[in-house]
Each structure stands twice: as structure tokens, then as C-alpha cells.
Structure 1
Amino acid sequence: MLEKLDLSKKVSKEDYNRIMEELGERLGRAQRLARDAKKPVLIVFEGWRGVRRSALINEMMQQMDARGFNVYSTVRMSEEEHEQPFFTFFWRHLPALGHIAVYHRSWYYLKNAHEVRGHGDRCKCLNISYEHINNFEKMLTDDNYLVIKFFLHLSNEQQKKNIDKNAKTLGKAWRDLSPALDESEDYAAYLERYERMLEATDKVNAPWHLIAAEDGRSARIDVFTTLVETIENAVHAPQAEAAPPVRPASNYDVLSKIDANKELSKEEYKEKLDKYQKKLSQLQIEMFKEQIPVVIGFEGWDAAGKGGAIRRLTAALDPLGFAVHPVAAPNVVERQFHYQWRFWINLPAPGNIAIFDRTWYGRVMVERIEGFAKPQEWQRAYDEIKDMEAQWAEHGVAIAKFWLQIDKDEQLRRFNDRQSDPDKQWKITDEDWRNRDKWDAYEAAVNEMLVRTDTSYAPWTVVEGNNKYYARLKVLKTVIDLFEKKLGK
């Protein structure tokens, strides 16, 4: 692909100034168009060291409203950020609706840099494939994000000239400011690597724009023209509704086979609760020493006992090493981003535990049943969720997912208890009663969710919940087993 670029293109200073005056105004208008259309934009700049990326981005910034964009670079990531699952940095810096994120080197550079020189003993980034990257970009473009990718290309001879010029002009500090890969001494090998990258990730939803960067003026004109036209076309193009994928009729049936009436006496509960909590307390310390992060998600029927199970779990843990994240309908800030954003930004640091009281599975349950997600959105979410969990697991995150199962009669009894107890009335809402009326629809959605997202790396545990004592102990024992497995016990 790259060898077909015409690197001899040149533009005179006079022509450049004339053309850029118009393009600069159009770029400012294009940014406002994206803002008014609530279209989030990601602009990726990849290419060889020495392509004058910073100067190009700086000139682009001069034409845009600084309040509407941010610039990031994977070259400047911290040690802590390198220890997170690969895409965490990018999820945390995802642009809100109508905003722009500019990447001065992106996930592509990060993958290549890790493969070439590695980054720390605990880094799992070598597991990241171009398929992972394609899935990440498709999740964004499916959700109305515009991804514009540039690869700036130049010859080995011009690259060496540019690097030498930067070193003379900026001094030794230049390399410290931008400690990126230097491909100039092994140009042919890197050319082959970049060709493979471009071929594997040039997709209809996020195509590569190849820019001849031998002449800086010509490159900037090409980049500005592409940006303006791509944003204008994306905003003005009619939004075609994608047809939901055709799937066979749902014959999933998990819950009907669950006997929710497992019994446990209060005396046995108290005895085992103390034993399990002491064990968990010790295992948490060992998990921290091994720097193994943990994600525990709770789903279940209203009044199924999620809160009680979480309280007994956290009672055994050091509060400095865990966080509980209650998940409700997305707030005004969370609605500005992809639905997975609020979970990625709450991933635990190495050795810590994140507990989610309701999870990302709301996409295929409440959002599906209540119509908050379109059919094509919740149907593709099964694969999106499995890909997200697979990335976490490949990075070494221990994952537990619980569905707390109670029957319809037990739920009614608990609802009535809450309604009649002044100290518990805050737990019951009109929405709980409305959801109960849709029991059959929710049951079908849960059955499909349990079958389609149960994996070896993130399995579901269905907890028989009519007896709260039994349910709480099963949760604790499952977490103990998970920790011991990760620790090789």
C-alpha cells in the first residue's frame, strides 16, 4: 500500500498559504458541524518518526475551538496506565458527544512498541491482535463515533534528514520529550510491519488515509482536506438504520432448571460465614501481593439479595483494596459516551477489586426490554461484551459474574415485606412493580444472556436465592474458589 504513494508531491509556499486559508475556515466549520450533530470524532495520526506530526497537529488546533477537542499520545503514558488492560487508556479518554479526540500516536503505536521492545514484566499487551483493534473500532463506529485514521509516510532518506534536523534544532531534550520508536536504522523491517498493520485494519467503517509526508506542506493540505470532507460527509449523510442480524428463535432455557429453594440453617450459615470471611481476608492479601485485579459483577431479579450478598463479601475485605460501583440508568454525563465507557473507567488497579452492583449486562436486559437500546444495538452487544471480558481476562483480570435467582412468589413476598416495613420502604419503587409485570420478557432475556455470554474466562454462576443464607455463602465460596485458582492453589 505505502509503496504506491507518490512521495514526490510538492506544494509552493504561495499555493500552500492560499489553499490553507480556505481549508482552515472549513475545518473550523466542520468542528462546529460535528458539535451541533453530537457526533464524537477520533482522529488518529500514525506513521514514521520524523513525519512532523506535532507541527501538523498544532496547525490543525489553531483552526479549531480548543474547548471542543483534546490531544493524547501513547508515548507519554504513565507506568500505571501501561499496567491496565490494553484499551483502558483509550476508553478513559473517549470523546463525549460532539467532541474530538486527537491521537498523536494511538493504539496502533502502542501495540507495535510493546511488540518491539516490551513494557514491564506484567504487561499482557502482546496478546492484543489486530482483530481486537478492529472490534474496538467497530464498537465505536457502530455507536455513531467517527474514526479518521491517517498514516503519514516518507522515505528512509527523508526520515533520517528530519530526525537529524529535529535533534539539531531542539537539542537532546527532543528525544526525552518524544521517546518514540526510531525506525530509521531498520526501515525495511518496519515497512513490512506497517504494511501488515494497514492491510489488517483497513476497514470500511474505519479506513486508513495514506498521506505522502515527504513534503510537509503537501501533507498538511491532504490531511486538512480529508478531515473536512470526512466530517462534512458523516454529518450530512442520512443515518441508515442497520437491520438487526437474523438470529434463530430463542430456545434458551437455564432458569427453569434452577431450584431456587436450596436450604441452609441459620446455625450452619453463621459457622460457615465466619470461616469463609476469614479465608477471603487472607486471600485478598495474597491477590494484592501477586497484583491480580478482580472484577465481580452482580445481576439478579429485583429483591433477589444482591445488596446483602455484597455486604457479606465486602465485610471480609480491606476497604483500601476494593470499590463497589452501583449501576443505575446512565446519568447525563454517562449518556455522552459508549455504554461500556463507565465500566472501563472503573477497572481496578493491579491487586484491587471492583464490585459492580448491576453491570454492563443492562444492555441486553433492561435496555432491551424497555426499548432504551435499538434491536441492532442490544443484539450486537453480546459479542461486544464477550470481547471486552476477553480482553480483561487476557490481561490477567479475575472475573466473577453472579445471577441471583429467586422465584416469582418469593419476589412478591419480599416486595410486600418491604412495602409494609417503614425502614425498608425506600427499597421498593413503582419501577420494581412495573418490572415485575414484565417477568416473562425479562426471563427470556436473562436466559439468552446466560447462554450466550457464559465463557471459560468469564463464566456465569447462577445462585439459588430463595434462602438468603444459602445464596450469600455460595457467593463467598465462588469468590474463594476464583482467588485460589488464580493463585495456583
Structure 2
Amino acid sequence: MFEAAELGRKISRDEFDAMAPELRTELLALQQQLRQADFPVIVLFAGVDGAGKNETVNLINEWMDPRWIVTRAYGKPSDEERERPEFWRYWRDLPPKGKVGLFLSSWYHRPLVDRVYGKTTLAELDENLEQIVHFEKALADEGALILKFWMHLSEKAQKKRLKGLEKDPMTAWQVTKTDWEHYCLYDKFTSAAERLIMHTSKGHAPWQIVEGADSRYRSAVVLQALKDAITKHLANREAVKKVNAEIKGKAAKGKKAAAPDALVSQPSILSSLDMTQKLEGPDYTKALQEQRARLAHLYHVAKEKGVSTALVFEGWDAAGKGGTIRRLTNALNARDYQVIPIAAPTEEERAQHYLWRFWRHVARAGRVTVFDRSWYGRVLVERVEGFCTEEAWRRAYGEINDFEEQLTQHGIVMCKFWLHITSEEQLARFNSRGQIEYKKWKLTDEDWRNRESWGLYEQAVNDMVERTSTSNAPWTLIEANSKNLARVKVMRTVADALEAALGKAAKIKKK
């Protein structure tokens, strides 16, 4: 695979100086266009130590306007990062739309090094790489331009490069003991790198192998590739915008026809719930006290063990999410939980992938995060109201499952609740809110408008549960016509999940 990058290609100083002014001007002009674009540019640099990755990143920052460039390089994870899923730090650092992100030692570094040092098997390497493929595809599907450069040197050229850097007092600091250790494992790195590139070079995120021995040659290749890719992507995104606008226009004309009456009228998973159930009086008081005490105990054990909890609340307007969340958090210490109310995205959030704003709220070890509405807005309100394309909400099921799998694989306990009420109960609660001064603010024109799409939302909920209720992150459907029943059932479900995750530790302390 790497033979073509060991040919000794060079560009003379005169040739490079002749092409540089025009290329630099074009890149700066493209950067100004990019600032108004609806996508970010993500550029990854990986490869052989000493092949010019750092120098190339420095040159891009020099030639282009660094105010619109995000540069990130990663070392060993900090305590804060280790307490979260591995990809948290990468999601956190993604550039917003209109900017360029340059990444060194990024999400490929750990899987590659672990394989070379025998910490993982080939099967585990492939599993890690498959996760990366999903990550990059999710970004590309939302419009991101992803460029990946593997900077290569032959074994002989790498040795010469490292020795040359060491001899110069100005650059000697760049060569570390680890660089020489990696040099001694050159063949293993090459073998693992070939597998990595073959597995992850996709149409949406291709690798380009760059011969790194000559600084002017590698610079010209990377900068020209960057210019060509941005030019092409700008044109492609304009075409996509026009198509999406046409689709959205057609959908708006016949919005109610988006889901045929025959389909909407079919029984959904929600229709199987027994909405007559109630919990009243002393029975409710006793059950609430028992589950609150149980949850308080389990939460303290989880905190000691560094086990985090993520709770997702979705449901109809006026279904009682807020009241249920308040009862639940009464069992917790205010220092250890955070309630994240999700509304329409802010300008900052709209400039990122839709999952970015949820990744940034993933808590440290031992904390509880409560999402009052969540990432499921993509397959609920955005689907029904036409705020995203059908292609976008359909692929979101897989993206959401992947996101939640990363959380639960890290050890986070996840509970997802849909609070269900009947249409009649919702109407009664709306009317009641209108009569109470301190609750009037909760009732909006949008709430009334959403009632008109009840059937469409019910079908969307059915599809959501069907496609995202997994063994590691199941949905719990709550019969919330009775607020008391809903509060106790939610608390019991969270306690059960914590007890299952903590196992013997929780039961021993309980005795």
C-alpha cells in the first residue's frame, strides 16, 4: 500500500515559490466562502512519526486565517476525559459550520497504538475502526467535509528524519523516546496502518497517502487537495440545498398527507397501555417514600463507585415530565445532578451536528444527568413538523443507537421514559392550566397546534420505540394519566436499573 509513497518525490524551491502565491490566495478566498457555508471542514493528520504532520498543520494556519481554524492535538486522556466515553472529547472539539478543524493524534491514534503494542486483537481493532466509520459517516451525512491525510516515510527516511531533527537544537525537542520506540516497531505500525486505512477509507471520508520526505512536496499535495475538496464540496452543498428546498416545499403543501390516514389509524404500541391504572392516597404516599429512599441509597452507592446515570424524558405536552423529574431529583443531592431542558437549538448548537449539544452534557463519573426532552426530537418533532428531511430522520435511528451504545458501554446507566396520556386527558390538563395563574405560561399556541398532529406523533413514537428500544437502552412506557402512578413507576424503574448495574455492592450495603 505504501510503495507509491516511497518514490522520493520532490518539488524544487523555485517550483514551490511559483505556485504558492496563487494557491494561498485561492485558499483564503475559499475560506471566506466557507464562513457562510452550512458545513464544517474536518482535516485529520496521521502517519509516521517525523513525516511532517505538525509542520503541515502550522503551514495551513500560516497560509489561511487562523481565526476560522480550530486546531486540536491529543495526548493521554485527562481524568475528566477518562470519566466519559472516549469520543466525548472529539465531539466536544468539532468545528462549527463555516470553520476548518485540524486534528492531530485523534480518534485513530489509540486503536493503532494499542494494536501495535499487542493490547488488542485484530478483531478488537476492527471493532474500534467500525465505530470510527460510524462516527465519521454521521458527521458526513450532516454535511461535514472530512479529509484524512496519512503522512508516510520509508523506514530509512524516517530514521534520517529523526536524526536530522535531533541534530538541530531548534527542533531536537520534537523527537522523543516514544518516537524511537515507534521506529523500532516500524513494520508492526505499517501492517496495522494498512488495515486501518483499508477499513476506514470510505467515500464520505477517504484517506490520502502523502509522501512526507520532502517538505515542499507534501505541503503542495495537502494544500492542493484541501483547495480542491472545499471547492467541490461548496458546489455539492449548494445543489443539495436546492433539492432539499424543493422537497420541503412539496412536503409543506401536503403536510397532513405525509402519513396516510390508514397508517395513522393503525394501533400503535401506545394503544396497548392500560390507561385506567391509578395510585391514590396512602398507597401513593407509601410507595413514593419507599422508592425515594431506595433511589437515594442506590444513587449514593453509584456515586461512590463512579457510576453515572443518564435519564431521558419524552412525552406528550402536559404529560407531567416536569413534576416527575422534580419528585425524582428530590432523592438526590443537588451537587450531583443536572437537569437539561431541551428546547429549539441555539445559534451555536445549529452550527454543529445535532448530537453535539447532547454529547457536551455527558457528565463525569458518579453524576446524574436528566434530559427533559432529548436527541429524540430528531425523530419526533423534526420528523412530524418537517424540520429535517426524511432521509435525515430515518438515518437518525442508527445514529442514536450508536450514541447510546457508547454511553452504556462506558458504564453509564441509561433509562428512557415516554410519559403517555390520552388525548382526552391532555385536553383536560390544557383547560386546567388555562385557569391557574402560575401555570398559564406552560400553555402555548404550539401546544394546541401539536394536538392537531396527534396521529402523526403517535406513529412517530411507535417507530421510535420500535427502532431504538435496545437491550442496553430500553424504553419504559409510562401510563401517566395518573401522575402519582407515573412518578412512582419512573422512580422504581431508575432504582431497578441502578440495582442491576451495581449488583452485589448495592445489596450488601442495603443490609
Aligned pair in 2 of structure 1 residues 443, 488: CA closer, same or farther (>3 Å)? same
**Aligned residue for 2:358?**
343
**Aligned residue for 2:230?**
231
What's the CA shift string for 1:362-390, capped at 9, x where partnerless?
A: 10010011110111111111111111111
Contact 1:49 1:182 in 2 (8 A): no
How far, CA to CA, are the matches of 1:437 and 1:235 in structure 2?
39
Aligned pair in 2 of structure 1 residues 112, 180: CA closer, same or farther (>3 Å)? farther
Contact 1:7 1:154 in 2 (8 A): no
Superposition pairs of residues 225-374 of structure 1, within 5 angstroms = 225-237=224-236, 238-240=238-240, 241=243, 253-374=268-389
Which residue identity lines up with residue 45 of structure 2 in the other structure? F
Residue 150, structure 1, aligned to residue 165, structure 2? no
**Aligned residue for 1:110?**
110
Identical-pair percentage: 38
What's the CA shift string for 1:396-430, capped at 9, x where partnerless?
A: 11110000011111111111110011121111111
What TM-score, normalized by structure 2, do the two folds share? 0.89
SS in 1 for 2:347: coil
Contact 2:380 2:460 in 1 (8 A): yes
How far, CA to CA, are the matches of 1:356 and 1:59 in structure 2?
42
**Aligned residue for 1:122?**
none
Contact 1:33 1:232 in 2 (8 A): no
What's the CA shift string for 1:100-135, capped at 9, x where partnerless?
A: 11102221113323555699xxxxx98952121111
How far, CA to CA, are the matches of 1:474 and 1:419 in structure 2?
28
How far, CA to CA, are the matches of 2:462 and 2:376 in structure 1?
12
- For 2:434, which of 410, 414, 419 is the aligned residue? 419
**Aligned residue for 2:26?**
26
Cα RMSD over matched residues? 2.4
SS in 2 for 1:129: helix
Contact 2:309 2:414 in 1 (8 A): yes
Superposition pairs of residues 93-172 of structure 1, within 5 angstroms = 93-116=93-116, 129-168=128-167, 169-170=169-170
How far, CA to CA, are the matches of 2:125 and 2:206 in structure 1?
24
What's the CA shift string for 1:132-171, capped at 9, x where partnerless?
A: 1111111111111111111111111211222233334357
Greater helix share, 1 or 2?
Answer: 2
Superposition pairs of residues 372-387 of structure 1, within 5 angstroms = 372-387=387-402
**Aligned residue for 1:213?**
212
Q: Which range moved further: 14-23 or 379-388?
A: 14-23
Which residue identity lines up with residue 160 of structure 2 in the other structure? K
Residue 437, structure 1, aligned to residue 458, structure 2? no
Task: Give how far 1:266 is off.
Answer: 2.1
SS in 1 for 2:136: helix
SS in 2 for 1:239: helix
How far, CA to CA, are the matches of 1:351 and 1:239 in structure 2?
47
Task: Give how far 1:270 is off.
Answer: 1.2
Which residue identity lines up with residue 29 of structure 2 in the other structure? R
Q: How many residues align?
A: 481
**Aligned residue for 2:87?**
87
Contact 1:252 1:447 in 2 (8 A): no
SS in 2 for 1:151: strand
How far, CA to CA, are the matches of 1:288 and 1:297 in structure 2?
19
How far, CA to CA, are the matches of 1:448 and 1:72 in structure 2?
39
**Aligned residue for 1:64?**
64
How far, CA to CA, are the matches of 1:286 and 1:175 in structure 2?
46
**Aligned residue for 1:459?**
474
Contact 2:165 2:172 in 1 (8 A): no
**Aligned residue for 1:183?**
182
Contact 1:69 1:100 in 2 (8 A): yes
SS in 2 for 1:49: coil
How far, CA to CA, are the matches of 1:140 and 1:45 in structure 2?
17
Task: Give how far 1:314 is off.
Answer: 0.4
